[in-house]
Amino acid sequence: MNPRNALTEPWLLNPLPHFGELDPAGYADLGLKSGLEVHQQLLTQRKLFCRCPAGRYSLEHQAEVLRHMRPTLSEMGEYDGTALMEFKTRKDIVYLLNNETVCTYEMDDAPPFEIDDLALDRSIAIARLLGCNIVSEVHITRKQYLDGSIPTGFQRTAIVGTDGAIPYRGRSIRIRQISLEEDSCREVADRGHLRTYRTDRLGMPLIETVTDPDMRTPFEVMEVGQIIRWLARVSGLVRTGPGAARQDVNVSVTGGTRIEIKGVPSLRDIPRLVHNEGLRQTSLVAIQRELQRRGVREQDLPERFVDVTTFVRSTEFQNVRRAVEKGATVLAVPLPGFENLPGAPTQPRTTFLKEFSDRIRVIACIDELPNLACSTQDAPTFSGGEWDRITKACGVEGSVPVLVVWGRQRDAETAAREIVLRARDAVQGVPSETRQALDDGTNGFERILPGADRMYPDTDLPPIPLEDARLDRIFAALPERPWERREGLERQGVGADLADRLSRHPAYDLFQALVGECGDGLSATGLASLLLDRSCPRPASLKVAGDWWRATIRRLAAGEIVAEGIYLAEGDPPAVERESAARRRFAAALATVPEGPREGRRGEDFVMGHVMPGLRGRIAGRTVRTWVKEALA
């Protein structure tokens, strides 16, 4: 083998570790660092900058709007790289409008209203709960988005707090900032050059909590995300349910760069995603070193591609044959210096070749897979003779990988240029990207990572000064933080596990209202267990059933009923089976007791052993023994 083609990086030769095979020391060897961006919808009646209702979702629409996005210059006279990338996709963006959830503001046909005061107050409250310093003035800025998720092409956002911290396993996780911003549209479909959105959630108030990259293992990222979510939920200031919260995960390793995994739907998905992204970056760093060893430079990769349509017009490779029959152009791009690298593993079940395929899918909009073929890959594509003709047309040796793409001529040319750009990125190392979380725990390219050039001031809205009186009012109403609740519960005698659950449960306030009324018959731990496990009261129950619960607790403490007898009725409040029903069950059970002792303690125990199975959990055992004594007398 040519020494130029030999692989010296062991990471490129060995299988990737499976999830869970690396311990904390293994992640330390990778230099893994990770941070979070947690997005949560605020619980308000109105949207952030208009008077449309918030929280209404619908599958119906009465109108459609078509938009084409174009980038704008920043204040420094430069274009944001992400905006330029999105512009290359030439997407048609269609918005589905429901008259009850949008107005002319969302379509950028009317100026914004003043910011919703309730949303601002609630964002300040959560920022304070996270230990942030609150800004003295709120400045609205515009953040450019050209993916179509916001019809105006920009999102209005404002920083409300900075430099906070939360406790985590004996150390602090730094909170970089809290922002108040508008939510985006819901994507309905994205196929080819057409992308469709629903606008019902557009403009809803949203807070974004950004941490520093203080987490060092994948499970730490998940646990910190849980703490941030729990804190916001305990406050009662955010929406809950599907779609109300999302998180982006930032990951880097030694020699790599910050990669943002966008829109992770569940905290449970985070560990595997972080693990696999760490492996991907480590592999890309190894590929970079291998290219440097081979002496490959960016200037060695000119923008060069060859039209090979005539060579494959009759190919047995059906994907290409069908495309050519419809008028597609087939282009070949040689990559000298990349021998043996397209098949290098980057993520589980994923190779370096997918880095090229993803760029083609997203930017050239050639999304029918497979969307490229490689001369050195082990896959059924072109025949040996066809590959020989393609390689010869490119003027390279057979060991040099040649990537072939097909599609409408303009799309195929865009795809070929993206192959060259991605190959140049490989020489530089790990490109800064926003990536999409996939169901199998891997991730795929979504867009170039945005930079500071996409931010600029909003001239439609003035700064909002935050007066001391307003902040004092907000701070005075702050609830306890979950970790403060947990410490207080443990001081009250609640066990550690129950205290942890109750500290973030809706029944916490009810527990505090009732714990002082429990007698010797019901401990604080017993009350916590009852509220969490036996009755599981819902928020509605907590509001309407306070007096009922207070009376029930007294009966429990007095031994008149047992916890197992409490159950949730269809409505509120919960119910306890009436004593008369238990009496009837006792009488029926008593009639079936077989012959046996009937005198003294031995007789009582004999009868109790036969009647209690049908009464256990419905009435207190001491009450049943009283009835047995009466019957035997």
Answer for the pair 344, 352: CB distance below 8 angstroms, yes or no: yes
- The reply to whether 381 and 527 lie within a common domain is no
For residues 488-508, one letter each, b for 16 or more C-beta atoms within 10 angstroms of the residue's C-beta and e for the rest, the string is: ebbebebbeebbbbbbbbbbb
Does 309 reside within a domain?
yes
- The reply to whether 79 and 185 lie within a common domain is yes
- The reply to whether 566 and 585 lie within a common domain is no
- The reply to whether 601 and 563 lie within a common domain is no
What's residue 571's pLDDT?
41
Helices 468-476 and 117-129: crossing angle, nearest 10°? Answer: 60
At residue 409's C-alpha, the angle toward residues 403 and 414, to 5°, is 60
What are the structure tokens assigned to 473, written together? 């009012």
What's residue 573's pLDDT?
46
Residue 414 belongs to domain with CATH number: 3.30.1360.30
Which residues touch 232 (CB under 8 Å, ≥6 apart)?
Answer: 40, 126, 129, 207, 209, 238, 245
Does 100 reside within a domain?
yes
**Taking the model in full, what pTM does it have?**
0.85
The domain tally of the chain equals 4
The alpha-helical segments, DSSP class H, found in 18-80 are 24-30
DSSP secondary structure, 450-515, as one string: P-GGGEEE-TTS--EE--HHHHHHHHHTPPPPHHHHHHHHHHTT--HHHHHHHTTSTTHHHHHHHG
What's residue 295's pLDDT?
95
Q: Output the CA torsion sign for 555, 557, 560, 566.
A: positive
Laid out side by side, the sheet with 372-374 consists of 306-307, 329-334, 402-407, 372-374
Answer for the pair 629, 600: CB distance below 8 angstroms, yes or no: no
Does 281 reside within a domain?
no
How far, in Å, CA of 209 to CA of 178, rounded?
A: 5
Does 488 reside within a domain?
yes
Does 181 reside within a domain?
yes
Name the E strands within 518-583: 566-567, 575-576
- The reply to whether 364 and 502 lie within a common domain is no
Which residues touch 290 (CB under 8 Å, ≥6 apart)?
Answer: 7, 8, 9, 12, 341
Amino acid at 180: L
How far, in Å, CA of 67 to CA of 268, rounded?
A: 36
The alpha-helical segments, DSSP class H, found in 533-578 are 539-544, 546-558
Which of 571, 592, 614 lies at the terminal end of a domain, its last residue?
571
Which of 571, 590, 619 lies at the terminal end of a domain, its last residue?
571
Which residues touch 377 (CB under 8 Å, ≥6 apart)?
Answer: 342, 343, 353
What's residue 42's pLDDT?
97
- The reply to whether 98 and 219 lie within a common domain is yes
At residue 258's C-alpha, the angle toward residues 254 and 264, to 5°, is 120
Which residues touch 235 (CB under 8 Å, ≥6 apart)?
Answer: 122, 125, 126, 129, 478, 479
Residue 462, preceding bond cis, omega within 30 degrees?
Answer: no
Chain CA centroid to CA 325, Å: 42
What are the structure tokens assigned to 97, written together? 């409008």
Side-chain-side CA neighbours of residue 267 (13 Å): 17
Specify the residue for token string 């097909």.
406
What are the structure tokens assigned to 232, written together? 């916001």
Please report, for residues 183, 437, 463, the alpha-carbon distance to residue 459 in angstroms, rounded to integers and kept in the order given: 20, 35, 10
Answer for the pair 489, 528: CB distance below 8 angstroms, yes or no: yes
- The reply to whether 493 and 394 lie within a common domain is no
- The reply to whether 564 and 594 lie within a common domain is no
Which of 571, 588, 606 lies at the terminal end of a domain, its last residue?
571
- The reply to whether 566 and 491 lie within a common domain is yes
219 torsion bin: left (phi>0), alpha (psi -120 to 50), beta (else): alpha
Residues in the chain where the model's pLDDT stays below 70: 1-5, 73-77, 519-521, 533-546, 548, 556-581, 616-619
Does 526 reside within a domain?
yes
What's residue 101's pLDDT?
93
Helices 600-611 and 579-590: crossing angle, nearest 10°? Answer: 110
How far, in Å, CA of 289 to CA of 295, rounded?
A: 10
How far, in Å, CA of 376 to CA of 356, rounded?
A: 14
- The reply to whether 564 and 604 lie within a common domain is no
Identify the bridge partners of residue 156 per DSSP, sorted by sequence position: 142
- List the domain range (segments joined by +) for residue 385: 296-432
- The reply to whether 414 and 362 lie within a common domain is yes
Please report, for residues 331, 342, 353, 401, the alpha-carbon distance to residue 396 in angstroms, rounded to integers and kept in the order given: 15, 16, 19, 9
DSSP state of 42: B
Answer for the pair 176, 212: CB distance below 8 angstroms, yes or no: yes
Does 9 reside within a domain?
no
- The reply to whether 86 and 150 lie within a common domain is yes
Residue 195's nearest CA partner among 412, 414, 438, 447 is 447
What are the structure tokens assigned to 372, written together? 């490229």
Residue 605's nearest CA partner among 586, 620, 624, 578 is 624
Does 459 reside within a domain?
no
What's residue 475's pLDDT?
96
